[in-house]
Amino acid sequence: YVSGTLIGELKDERRNGELIQVGPSASNGSGSIAGITLYNEGFIILTGSWDLSNGSHTEDYTGSAGPPNWVCFGQSISGSITAPSSSFLLDFKGTSKVPTLTMFAHARRNMLNHSNNPTYKKAGSPTISSTGSSGYFERDTIEIKNIVSSSYNDPTGSFKKTTYISEIGIYDGNKNLLGVAKLATPVKKTEERDITFKLKLDI
């Protein structure tokens, strides 16, 4: 741009790295290749040396007055050269391919309805254990807390084993824990429910 007016535009129209001057329409050098883009290496090489202003403008791009051309693109960025009437714009888009692993975790009916969480048992349930020279003893029956709601505070609704799934472990073929997926909101699991979780892992 010179004084806010577009005097030259390059575009990789063929998507082969060749930067072709596409604008403005009928501008000096329009349709010519002014450089190349090396996408894998991350370089842009500009070689177009024709006068983009067609003789209507000169400025200090290289230490002395001269016409604007593609070789002088961005010269004032270094700070050692001042070209107040000229401005430059670089616009590009990139695509990153991210491999994604999709996994399914199944909570089958009549499964995963027991928990070792202390809150799973009814409050006040005795858990007295004793040890002696002959062994270790503890209660083999502990009452499970009933969280089924009803219209009354007491008694509660008919008992149903209920758990809440809040985390899902990811294991390899040797049962080694590789990672843990945490749910934003725990999912209620009753004996009659069949639940499948879909997990996606970006590698």
Q: What percent of the chain has pLDDT over 70?
A: 92
- Joined together, the tokens standing for residue 122 give 């009814």
Q: What is the pLDDT of residues 78-120, one digit of tens each?
A: 767 788 899 999 998 888 889 999 999 999 999 998 887 877 7
pLDDT classification of 68: cutoffs 50, 70, 90: very high
Domain boundaries, the chain: 9-78, 100-202
pLDDT of residue 128: 64
Question: pTM (2 decimals)?
Answer: 0.50
Residue written as tokens 């883009």? 37
pLDDT of residue 129: 66
Task: List the one residue out of 171, 162, 170 whose CA is nearest residue 195.
Answer: 162
Contact in structure between 36 and 43 (CB atoms under 8 Å): no
Q: What percent of the chain has pLDDT over 90?
A: 57
